[in-house]
Amino acid sequence: MVMAKVSGGARAVARCDTLAKAPFSDSADGLTRTYLSPAYHAAQDQLAEWMAGAGMSVRRDAAANLIGRYEARKPGAPALVIGSHVDSVRGAGAYDGPLGILLGIEAVAALSSGGVQMPFAVEVYAFGDEEGSRFPAAMLTSRAVAGTLDPAALDVADRDGVRLGDLLDLAAYPSAARRPGDVIAYLEAHIEQGPVLEAEGLALGTVTGIAAQLRFEIGLSGTAGHAGTTAMGLRRDAVAGMAEMVLAAEEVATAGPADLVATVGVVEVPSGAANVIAGRSRFTLDVRAGHAAVRDRAADEILRRFRTIAGRRDLGLSVRQVHDLPASPCDAGLMDLLDAAMAEAGHRPFRLVSGAGHDAMIMAALCPTAMLFLRCRGGVSHNPAEHVEPADAQAALDVMSGFIRLLGAKCDA
């Protein structure tokens, strides 16, 4: 009986499925893989085996990133870095992060099996802490590689009180930094985590950039009171005010351009009870857009409405900005190469912005960056229902291979 040959894309998807199970998850109930946990180390060990099988030398750096290197024609030449993250959120899907790593491994395997070497090395990075699901900081490991890490950010502990310094040598951590001349470009393949490609009937898209992000913590203070004895017109209800503010944020974002989004992801009612009018409430506000000016105008309008609502309801209002990430545009020349590789592979070039943050936005401080998005069913991500068709993964692999070839021809010219 003749066995059908498994495509590189299908193998990448199958390997993602393997990494979603024990011993590669911290939880027996679905996938949770946090930075430096036993599951993290197990996943790295498995990825290292696959990297070596694809023809790469393998090492770990001081930030516990895993790196595979496929050498250039001239040993020691600068590298094209292909990467994504191996950590996950809690209760994750199988493909957010690992698929980009595994497609990078498959791209190198195709070069190695054909005996093809490029004018640049190809390195595959498995970054360790993109999600920030263990420590109260995110993208520590890519920041270390890009050379933008503030050492003070390493002074963190997880929810069990385990400090990062208990697990790694913090003094050595910044030595993971790469010199700008050592890396010519960064390419990241990632599931879209949204519905645009599926709505367009397309498997792939070239990312134009990563949206600018603002995040706030909002606090409201009113007067707690008995639910049965305080007339509606006399209430200073912190929950009712919060509810009106949530809807105001939604209204502002809905009226804006398509890439503008506003999200309230966490709501809290300290000391809340079923028969008590809430005297305090807290919530988060996340505002994103492809351009910082659009984001900032929307955030200003949302906060203006919050102040109006608080004044009308006689509520105290506190606003604390906790996060401000600028937009991170992808390199124009690399986007053109991705578009050309798509056209060569028989796919209609299509461009879209990324509303989610990725390691690519950090690596932009080190080198030009490019991102390739893959369609995911229903736009679902950060959820066990994440799904990628093997045919779409193969399409991405074809485009990545074409991108490497076109970049090589450009370097040789």
pLDDT (tens digit per residue) in 371-407: 999 999 999 999 999 999 999 999 999 999 999 999 9
Give the residue numbers of the binding site.
Answer: 85, 96, 131, 190, 215, 275, 288, 382
387 vs 381: CA distance, rounded Å:
8
Inter-CA distances, 232 with 190, 236, 317, Å: 50, 9, 21
81 vs 78: CA distance, rounded Å:
9
Q: 331-364: per-residue pLDDT in tens?
A: 999 999 999 999 999 999 999 989 888 999 999 9
| Cβ–Cβ under 8 Å, residues 312 and 233 | no
Residue whose C-alpha is closest to residue 35's, from 124, 104, 136: 136
Burial of 259-293, coded b for 16+ CB within 10 Å and e otherwise, reads bbbbbbeeeebeeeeeeebbbbbbbbbbbbbbbbe
| Cβ–Cβ under 8 Å, residues 38 and 24 | no
- List domains and CATH numbers for the chain: 8-211+327-412 (3.40.630.10), 212-325 (3.30.70.360)
For 145-245, strand residue ranges (E) read: 183-191, 204-210, 212-221, 225-226
Does the CA dihedral 115-121-122-123 come out positive or negative? positive
Distance of CA 315 to the CA centre of its chain: 36
The region that residue 157 occupies, defined by phi over 0 for left and psi between -120 and 50 for alpha, beta otherwise, is: beta
| Cβ–Cβ under 8 Å, residues 370 and 150 | no
Beta bridge partners of 122: 70, 80
DSSP state of 179: P
Output Rg (C-alpha) for the chain, integer angstroms. Answer: 23
Give the residue numbers of the binding site for allantoate.
Answer: 215, 275, 288
Q: What is the arithmetic mean of pLDDT over 130-142?
A: 90
Residue whose C-alpha is closest to residue 359's, from 156, 214, 207: 207
Q: 151-164: per-residue pLDDT in tens?
A: 999 999 998 999 99
Tell me the pTM.
Answer: 0.85
Does the CA dihedral 197-194-373-94 come out positive or negative? negative
Three-state SS at 286:
strand
- The pLDDT of residue 134 is 92
| Cβ–Cβ under 8 Å, residues 308 and 248 | no
pLDDT above 90 as % of the chain: 90
Q: Which helix (H) or strand (E) holds 46?
A: helix 38-53
Helices 332-344/390-412 angle, 10° precision = 120
Q: Which helix (H) or strand (E) holds 249?
A: helix 238-254
Confidence band, pLDDT 50/70/90 cuts, at residue 3? very low
23: cis peptide before it, omega within 30°? yes
Measured in degrees and rounded to the nearest 5, phi and psi for residue 216 equal -130, 155
Give the residue numbers of the binding site for Zn(2+).
Answer: 85, 96, 131, 190, 382
Q: What is the arithmetic mean of pLDDT over 10-21?
A: 97
- Range in 103-112, 257-266, 321-330, 338-347 the model is least confident about: 321-330
No. of H helices and E strands in the chain? 11, 16
DSSP state of 28: S
